[in-house]
Amino acid sequence: MAARIERSRAGGATWTPSAEAERPTWGWIWQAVSGALVLGLVTLHMIANHFVVKQGLRDFQDVVAYLSNPVILVLEVLFLFVVSWHGLLGLRAVIFDFGFSPRTERRITRVLIVAWVLTVLYGLWLTSTVIGYK
Amino acid sequence: MSEQVRLRGGEPGLAAPTVPGASRPVSPRRRGPLGWVDVRGRRLGSWAFILNRLTGLGVLLYLYLHLVILSQLARGPAAWDSFVSLALSPAFLLLDVVLLFGLLAHGLNGIRVTLVGFGLVIDRQKAMFAAFMVLGALVLLVGALRIFTTG
């Protein structure tokens, strides 16, 4: 699937809307948006969890204290939602490269959405369990 | 002036060979994942595409390993703290450097792919790719030093 990009007369770039294959897919747009979010969140996550921590890893007590900070909690949970979404959407793009029928592709999409929901639920369970140790 | 850019299931067109009026870059290569290992007619854009796919899959694999390992937290202080001492061994630290490489290569190349996908900087892709990879190498170097020197 190819998309044609042209410079408009105003100097900016626009999508040529003519042919069926020449629009960005919803998957691609979501991938770009989630990718931008992941970029910021993963940078924060790596710095906050490893690069400013003595020895690069918190012991149990410090993990509980860290996650008990409401701002941190919101950022880490947001990171969980977005990074698993971005990763599974990327996996979908790789799987789709094998060239399946539209029906199979829809099925794969459903399976990956279920996988995303399960991942998020697991992460939320784990987070609440850890905070419960406080 | 127009340029072909593959959005899904193909390479972002870093100077991919095109024929006027053709709907996709002309290439003798296989399509689909088997095409990734076919080196005929490869350009820089193809390598960037493969790098992005492989680092993406690697980082996704790491994400799930990471989530599984974090389950040690649910088992309480003793389980977690014994994992921490294991994770501070040199072999694990080396894996951290590999992870940092994957994150930097994928994240920085992702910025390029996104800009190009939205029609920005399409005529400076090679320079942008090179600049991002140099930046990534520098951050990787600093990060690796930090990983092995902080105690």
Q: Which long-range contacts (CB under 8 A, 24 or more apart) does B20-27 make?
A: B23/A2, B23/A19, B23/A21, B24/A2, B25/A2
Q: How confident is the model at residue B38, as a pLDDT?
A: 66
Contact A39 B76 (CB under 8 A): no
For residue B9, give the nearest of A23, A112, A99, A86 by alpha carbon: A99
User: What is the pLDDT averaged over residues A92-119?
Assistant: 96
Nearest CA in chain A to B32: A97
Cβ partners under 8 Å of residue B15, min gap 6:
B43, B44, B45, B125, B126
Bridging pattern class, strands B2-6 and A2-7: antiparallel
Q: Which of A8, A94, A105 to mutate to test the interface with B (most CBs of B within 10 A)?
A: A94
Nearest CA in chain A to B145: A51
For B70-108, the pLDDT digits (tens) are 999 999 999 999 999 999 999 999 999 999 999 999 999
Backbone angles phi, psi at A124, to 5 degrees: -65, -40
Task: Please compute Rg for chain A using Cα positions.
Answer: 20
For residue B99, give the nearest of B150, B63, B134, B48 by alpha carbon: B63
Contact B57 A14 (CB under 8 A): no
Chain B contact present for A20, CB below 8 A: no
Identify the three-state secondary structure at position B21: coil
Chain B contact present for A134, CB below 8 A: no
pTM: 0.79
Q: How confident is the model at residue B34, as a pLDDT?
A: 67
For residue B101, give the nearest of B127, B60, B137 by alpha carbon: B137
For residue A26, give the nearest of A85, A72, A70, A104 by alpha carbon: A85
ipTM of the complex: 0.83
Give chain B's length. 151
User: What is the pLDDT averaged over residues B54-70?
Assistant: 97
How near does any CA of chain A get to the CA of B12, in Å?
9
Between B5, B33, B150, which is nearest A3 by CB? B5
Residue with tokens 């921490």: B84
Task: Give the number of A-B residue pairs with CB atoms closer than 8 Å.
Answer: 129
Interatomic CA distance for residues B32 and A80, integer angstroms:
30
Chain B contact present for A88, CB below 8 A: yes
